[in-house]
Each structure stands twice: as C-alpha cells, then as structure tokens.
Amino acid sequence: MSSCCFSTGAGSRLRRGLAACLGVLALLPGASAGGEASTLTAAESKAEALNCADLPPLLASKDRQLVLASRDGWVAVFDMNPSSLRQERRVASSLEALALSSDGRWLLASTEQASALQLFDGRLQPVKTIALQSLDGRQRTRVAAIRDLPERRSFLVALQDLAEVWEISYDPLAEEVHDGLVHDYRMGEALGKPGFLHPRRTPLEAPVMDWLKGTAAPHIWLTLQPRAGGGLRLQLLHLDVHRAIASMPLSRAVKLSAGLLFKRQGHPVLAVPAQDQRQDPLEFIDLQRLHPPLGLDLPRIANAVGQAQSASLTDALRKLPWSQLKGRYPRPALAADAAEPADPCVGVDGAES
C-alpha cells in the first residue's frame, strides 16, 4: 500500500476522512461500458478520500503486520493475529511520507527537515540514510511521494525538485546500479554499485507532479510538472528500460492519483478528477491518443488493490490495543464500533489531540 498522497491536508481533514479512505481503496480497472456509472462514482469517492489521509495505516506481510504513523514522527508496529504492539518509537521530529515493504521488513521515511530518506528495519532501528540530491551533489530536493512496489520488491520515490524517480530495491539479489550513461555493461564501462538498498535513478523531462496509484510495475503512469512554455503531459514510464515509452498532452490539470483505468466502448480510458472542480469534475482521457501507440492491454496493467485488503485493514484497526500507545495517531471511527470517540486522534490517555 502506498504511504503518501501528493496533496497534504490539514490534521482535521485527516481525522474526519480516514474512515472514508478505508472504504474506497479498490480500483476498478476492468469496468465495462455498462458499469461506467459505478466506475465514475468510485473515481469521485476516491478523489475525495485521497485528500484526507496524509499518513494512512500500512498493512503488509499477508495482513500479519500493521504500521501506524503520525505527522509528529511517532511510528508503531503491530503483529496481527492476535493483535499485539511489537515496537513503538519516535523516529523523527516530523514525517511527511512513509512506505512499508511488502514483506514487512523495511520502512522508508522522509522528514520535513532533512533532505534525506531514512530506512528502518522492522524493529524501527535505523539502517541507512540516503541523501536527497542530484548525482553530482549540487542540487538538493525533497520527497513528493513514496510507494511500495511489491511485485518488484522495491520502493518508488518521486522527488519535488529533481527530474527523476528513484527505485530502491530491498531484494538482496537486486542487479547492480550503474549511474550515468553506459553503452555496454558487459564491457565494464562503469563500476556498478550494489543494487540492494541503493537508488536506481530514472531521468524524466521534469519532476513528477502525480502518479496513478495501483498500477502494476514496471508500468507507472505519471504527470510531470509543466515546463516553461509547455503544457501538462501524461506519460507511461517503464521502469525496466528507465524511460517513458509513451506520452500525450493533457488539456487541463488532473488528480492522477485518484484516476481509474477501464474500457469504454472498447477504448482504454482513464477517468480522472479535474483539479478545478468548478467545471466538469471528471476528465476522460482516451489512451488511444498515446504516442507512439502501444500494443498493450492497458486496463490489464492496472493492479487492483481490492476490497479484501480494505476489509482486512478495517478489521485490523478495530483490534489494535490503542491504550498501549505513547504517540497520537489518527484513529478512524469505524461503523461497527459501539461508540464513536469524540476525536479520532487519541493517545495513551485517550485525550483529544
């Protein structure tokens, strides 16, 4: 599950909306024309929910592990079945993004103060610090978003000020990373760095503005920050070849992270909420306009998160031993709870945040 939205809402929105987020995580990539109405309803709900959860709960290891995080740097790790608190500590004075590996062994975090990524093991012990800077060290940046790519055993990092995305593999057998231009790796033209826990940089035309959640790697849908004199573009990035393999212009700014990929009248279509909701709230992007045309079944490369995971997360949150926690975390008001707390953010004493 991804850890971060590109928009950062206020704490009140986080508390009000976390429960809603749990119910709208599923993408509907295979919707047909007959199911178009439900697809669009889901897109609108997903867009609203994505504005509410800055640091949502993270579930991994086949629902055996759950992580809560707060903006002020507290992180709690739980073992599930039965629910028990494994570890809790304050890892930073503030957090702006967090991702949990699919095997539950690694946490990747960025803070609002440091221009660095912090990697922690499953016991919240620091393992590695990765400077957020260009390859030559001249330009520093901050993180825009982090997500886990379970099928590749890696994290994907979008940066605010560098025209790059980073893939950080937590696979001990990952291939070496070769920074810079290399014509033939077999000729030894560059010395490689270990691929395990080292950023693999993919250059872009501009920094990432947003990406489509739930898509299956190596294909990643991106919108890039507009360059001077240029418009907004949608790109399909291929992580194995380290470049965009198709792109197309967009007529207006959209919330790509809330988009849905499906077929409409036999055409692959991306339905995305518009940034400016005063006009038509949804934008329909006909992906047959991609250049160059792709011989891919585009809806099939969307990997649905699934309702089952949402239900598992809701059930796991209900079972947590909230009274044992030192930090203050967003506690959702779940429909099945007997009584809704006065304020969903609670700490060890149950007081309001």
Per domain, the residue ranges of the chain are: 11-346
For residue 263, which of 41, 33, 43, 34 has the smallest C-alpha distance?
A: 33
Q: For position 180, what pLDDT does the model report? A: 65
Q: For position 8, what pLDDT does the model report? A: 39
Helix (H) or strand (E) holding 237: strand 233-238
Q: For position 310, what pLDDT does the model report? A: 56
Whole-angstrom distance, CA of residue 242 vs CA of residue 144? 19
Residue 299: pLDDT band (50, 70, 90) is low
Whole-angstrom distance, CA of residue 151 vs CA of residue 225? 27
Residue 271: pLDDT band (50, 70, 90) is confident
Contact of 192 with 177, CB cutoff 8 Å: yes
Mean pLDDT of the chain: 74
Q: For position 231, what pLDDT does the model report? A: 80
Q: For position 277, what pLDDT does the model report? A: 78
Count of beta carbons in the 10 Å neighbourhood of residue 175 = 13
> Among 63-72, 310-319, 321-330, 333-342, whose mean pLDDT is lowest?
333-342
> Among 43-47, 223-227, 268-272, whose mean pLDDT is lowest?
43-47
Residue 52: pLDDT band (50, 70, 90) is very low
Helix (H) or strand (E) holding 89: strand 84-90
Stretch 11-27: mean pLDDT: 31
> Among 118-132, 174-188, 313-327, whose mean pLDDT is lowest?
174-188
Q: Give residues with Cβ within 8 angstroms of 281, minimum separation 6.
A: 44, 273, 274
Whole-angstrom distance, CA of residue 6 vs CA of residue 252? 18
Stretch 253-263: mean pLDDT: 84
Q: Give residues with Cβ within 8 angstroms of 229, minimum separation 6.
A: none
Q: For position 239, what pLDDT does the model report? A: 93
Whole-angstrom distance, CA of residue 23 vs CA of residue 325? 25
CATH for 11-346?
A: 2.40.128.630
199/292: higher pLDDT: 199
pTM above 0.95, yes or no: no
> Among 76-80, 205-209, 302-306, whose mean pLDDT is lowest?
302-306
pLDDT value at 297 more than 80: no
pLDDT value at 206 more than 70: yes
Q: Give residues with Cβ within 8 angstroms of 10, minimum separation 6.
A: none
Count of beta carbons in the 10 Å neighbourhood of residue 142 = 18
Q: For position 54, what pLDDT does the model report? A: 52
Q: For position 203, what pLDDT does the model report? A: 92
Q: For position 316, what pLDDT does the model report? A: 76
Q: For position 251, what pLDDT does the model report? A: 85
Angle between helices 36-50 and 11-22 (to 10 degrees): 150
Cα distances from 97 to residues 73, 134, 181, 325, 344, in angstroms, run: 10, 20, 30, 21, 21
